[in-house]
Structure 1
Amino acid sequence: MASINKRGTKQWNVRIRRKGYPLQTATFEKREDAETWARDVESKMDKGAFLCTKEAERTSLHEALDRYIEEYAPSLADHQREVNRAKFLQKRKIAQMSLAKVRGMDIAAFIKEREAEGVAGNTIRLDLATFSRLFETARKDWGMEYLDNPVKKARKPKVSRGRERRLQDGEEEKLLKHAPEDFGPVIKFALETAMRRGEIAALRWENVKLKESTVFLPKTKNGAARTVPLSPAALNVLKELPRDIKGSVFRLAPDEITQAMKKARAGAKLKDLRFHDLRHEAVSRLFEKTNLDIMQIQMITGHKTLQMLARYTHLRAVDLVKSLAETP
C-alpha cells in the first residue's frame, strides 16, 4: 500500500512497499501527481508488469543528452547539427527533469515556450525529433524499456508552408560578384544541380564521373543514395576546379558554406536570402526551363515524395498556358 506524506509546503513524497519488489519512492509538487504515480506503479505490480525505473529516475534529461551525443549522434548523416541541437536542448529548463518524470504535458510546455520565442514550427519539430530519438534510444538500447516516449503524447506545432524566396533579376549576378573566390563555384553548382548544402560539402572527386556527366551521392538527407545528372553548366564548374582525385570537390564544410553565403549576401545587400533558397530556385528552374517530368525531377533533386514537389507544379502550369496561347 502506498503512503503519501507531505514534505514542506510544496512537495509530496510517495513510498510503496510491496513484497517481492524493492522500495519505490518518488516526490512530486502536487498530491494528485503523487496519487497518479502510486496507482500506476501498484497497478503494474498487481499485473506482474512492473519494471524498476530507478535508473531513469536517477538520470536527468541533460545527462541522457550527453550519452546521446556520445553514442547515437555520430551515426546520423549530419551528426554535427544533431550535436549542436542536443547541446542547445541541454540549456532548456526541461533538461533538469529526470527521464522518468518527463510527460506529455512537459513536452507541451516546452513547445509553448519555443512558440513564445517566435521559433518556427519546423524548428520546434526538429527539437522534438531529437527528444523523441533520445527516449526511443533509452528505451531500446539503454535497458529502460519501461519508459514512455512523451513526445508522442504531445500536440505537434503546425509547419509553415515552405519558403518561396526566388532570385530576382540581377540578384544572381550580385551574389556571385560579392562571393568569396572559393564560394562562387558552389553557388553556380547549387543552382544547376539543386543539391543540398551537406551534399555539396560532402562531394568527393572519386564520386564524380565527368565522362558520364554525373555525380554519385552515397549518403543524402533522406538516407537514400542517388546519382545526379549534370547540365553542361554544372559540368563546366567542375572542370574549372583544381582536382584531387581522393579529395573534397569544393573543399568547404557545411558551416563554411553558410558563412560564405552570409558574406556574399551582405556584400550584395540582398534581403532574406539563404543558401537553401538556391535549391528552391534550382528546382523551380527545372520546372520552368526543362521538359523533364516530375518523376525525373524527383530523381535529380532527391525529394523523398512527389508531394514535396507538388508546390512547384504551378510553374509548369504557367508554361503550359503560354504554350497553349502560342498554339495556332
Structure 2
Amino acid sequence: MAAKLPRGIQSTTWKKKDGTTTTKFRVRITRKDFKDKQPQYFDDLKEAVSYLALSKQPKGKELLYSITEEQRLKRAEEKRESGKNNFSLGYFIDCYLNDYILTKPAETELQIRNRNNKLSFYKTIRKTSIVDRFMTFSEKEEMGIQDNQPTYRFMEAFDVRQIRAIDINYYIKERLKSVKPISVQRELTMLSNVFNKITYFNETLTEVKNPVSTYDKDLLRNTIQKREFSITPDDEKKLFEVLSNYQNKEMQNICRLSLLTALRRSECITLKPMMVKENYIQLTTTKSGKPRKVYLDETAKEFIKNLTPHTKDKFFKYTIAGFDRVFRALLEKNGLGHIHFHDLRRMKISRTLSQIGAENSIFVAEFLGFSSVKKLEELHIDAQAVEPTDQRGFLNNFGHASPDITRKHYFNFDLKTKEKIAELKSKKIQKTITTDEEKDLLELLIRMSES
C-alpha cells in the first residue's frame, strides 16, 4: 500500500501523446490568507512538501509572493518610482511585455496568435520553480526547514542581480522533465530578450549580465534534433491527389500556393487580394513582424490569377488554427502524417536553389523574400549536402563551417540523385550512354529544375 500523502498534496497521473504516463504532485491552497489560489504541480514530493511548508509561514508566503520586507515597506514609493527599487524577474518581465509585446497591434488572427504564444511562454517562465540558492540557514531555521533540505522559488521571484548561469541550468533541468528540448530553447530565447532590455527599465543595472548567454550548453547539446526531411515525388503526388479529392478546395489551393511561392502557412491563409501586385506579393504581417516582398514566377502568377477570393478582403475562409487541425487530420487519415505543411515551403526553396544555384544567394533571397541573405545561407544553403572538393566543402561536410550557424536547415539536396546525374553525364560525353539512360538523365534534370 502506498504511503499516505500529506494533507494538501495530491498525486495526479495522466497519459501523454506518446503513450507514456506522467505523475506529478499537486498542491492546492484554498486558505483565505493565501493569495495564489492556482494549483501548483511538482515532479518531486519533497518539492511539494517544501512549497506547502513555506505557504504556512509568514516569511514563506512573502518568499512565494516575491514580496520582501523592503518591498512591502516601500510599496507606495515603488509605485511612484515606477518600480525603481523592484529587482524581481517578474517585474522586468512585466516591463518587457508592456513595452515590447502588448504595444504591438493585435488585430489579425496571426497577430493575436503570436502575442498569445509569447504571453504563454512568459507565464511558463514565471511559474517554473527552481532550487533557491539564496535562502540562509537562519531563514530556514525560522521556518522549521532543515538546512540540508532544498527550497524552491518561482523564477519570477528571483532578484535579477543574483541570477547566474547556474540558475539557468536549474531552469533547463526542471523544464526538460516535462517538455522537449526545442521548447526549452525557445523559452531561453524569451528569457534572454528580457535580460537584454533590463538597462532600459532601470539604468542602475548596467552591470547585470545576461545569464542565459553563459548557461551550460551541454545540457541541450545533441538533444535538439533537426528535422531532415524532404517530400518525395511519390509523397507529393499522393498528397495532391488527397487534396484534390477533399471537399473543401481551399485546402488544396493553400497548399499549392505555398509550394509555388514558399509562403508560410499563416501567410497563405491570411493573404489578401490587395497584397498581390503585378509580379510580387507584398506581405504586411509576417513571422518576423517586418513586411517583405515575395516575387512571383509565371506559374505562381497564373495560379493566383485564377484564385477566386472568399471575400474582397481575403482569399480564404479558413482560420490558421482551423486549417492546421483539418490538415493534420486529413494527412493522418491518408497515411501522410509524416508530412508537415512547412515541407512545402522547404520544397520550393530547395527547388529554387537547385534551379538558380546556391551561389546566387543574393538573388534567391530577394526573389523568395528573405530579409537577410546571411540567414538564407545559414538556414538553406550551408546545410545542404556539398561534395567535399574544396576547403569550404570539407568544412561544411565535417560540421565546422561557422560557429554561428544555427544548424537548422531547409534544403535537403539529394546527393544520390546528384551522383547519378554526374554518372550519366559522363557516359553521355563518352558516348556510352544507352537510350534508357538518356531518358533517365532527362527525367532527373527535369525533376531537379522543377519550380
**TM-score, scaled relative to structure 1:** 0.68
Matched position secondary structure for 2:314: coil
Matched position secondary structure for 2:282: strand
- Higher RCO (CA < 8 A, seq sep 6+): 1
Q: Check if 1:199 corresponds to 2:267.
A: yes
Over aligned residue pairs, what C-alpha RMSD do you find? 3.7
Residue 279 of structure 1 is matched in structure 2 by 345
Q: Check if 1:114 corresponds to 2:175.
A: yes
1:125-159 residue CA offsets vs partner (Å, 9 max, x unmatched): 21111111122233323556344322122134334
Matched position secondary structure for 1:72: helix
Residue 366 of structure 2 is matched in structure 1 by 299
- How has the CA–CA distance of structure 1 residues 272 and 293 changed in structure 2, closer, same or farther, with 3 Å as cutoff? same
User: What is the distance in 2 between the residues matched to 1:238 and 1:260?
Assistant: 26
Residue 193 of structure 2 is matched in structure 1 by 133
Q: How does 1:14-33 map to 2 (within 5 A)?
A: none
User: What is the distance in 2 between the residues matched to 1:60 and 1:269?
Assistant: 46
Residue 46 of structure 1 is matched in structure 2 by none
Determine which of 321, 326, 330 is the counterpart of 1:264: 330
User: What is the distance in 1 between the residues matched to 2:308 and 2:120?
Assistant: 32
8 Å CA contact 2:125–2:156 kept in 1: the answer is no
Q: Check if 1:309 corresponds to 2:380.
A: yes
Shift of 1:213: 3.4
Shift of 1:175: 4.5
Residue 161 of structure 1 is matched in structure 2 by 226
8 Å CA contact 1:189–1:234 kept in 2: the answer is no
Matched position secondary structure for 1:117: coil
Q: Check if 1:149 corresponds to 2:210.
A: yes
User: What is the distance in 1 between the residues matched to 2:248 and 2:216?
Assistant: 44
Residue 315 of structure 2 is matched in structure 1 by 249
User: What is the distance in 1 between the residues matched to 2:269 and 2:419?
Assistant: 36
Instruction: State percent identity of aligned pairs.
Output: 17
Shift of 1:186: 0.9
The letter for the 2-side match of 1:161 is K
Specify which structure has the higher proportion of helix: 1
Q: Is there any run of 5+ residues in structure 2 with no aligned partner, and where?
A: 1-53, 60-68, 72-82, 106-110, 130-153, 387-412, 430-451
The letter for the 2-side match of 1:259 is R
Matched position secondary structure for 2:281: strand
8 Å CA contact 1:175–1:268 kept in 2: the answer is no
Residue 55 of structure 1 is matched in structure 2 by 86
**TM-score, scaled relative to structure 2:** 0.52
Deviates more, 1:184-193 or 1:264-273: 264-273
Q: How does 1:157-196 map to 2 (within 5 A)?
A: 157-158=220-221, 159-167=224-232, 168=235, 169-178=237-246, 180-196=248-264
Shift of 1:276: 1.7
Determine which of 184, 188, 198 is the counterpart of 1:124: 184
8 Å CA contact 1:192–1:231 kept in 2: the answer is no
Matched position secondary structure for 2:205: coil
User: What is the distance in 2 between the residues matched to 1:179 and 1:278?
Assistant: 21
Matched position secondary structure for 1:216: strand
Determine which of 76, 88, 96 is the counterpart of 1:68: 96
Shift of 1:319: 4.2
Residue 102 of structure 1 is matched in structure 2 by 163
Largest Rg, 1 or 2? 2
Q: Is there any run of 5+ residues in structure 1 with no aligned partner, and where?
A: 1-9, 14-23, 27-51
- How has the CA–CA distance of structure 1 residues 273 and 104 changed in structure 2, closer, same or farther, with 3 Å as cutoff? same
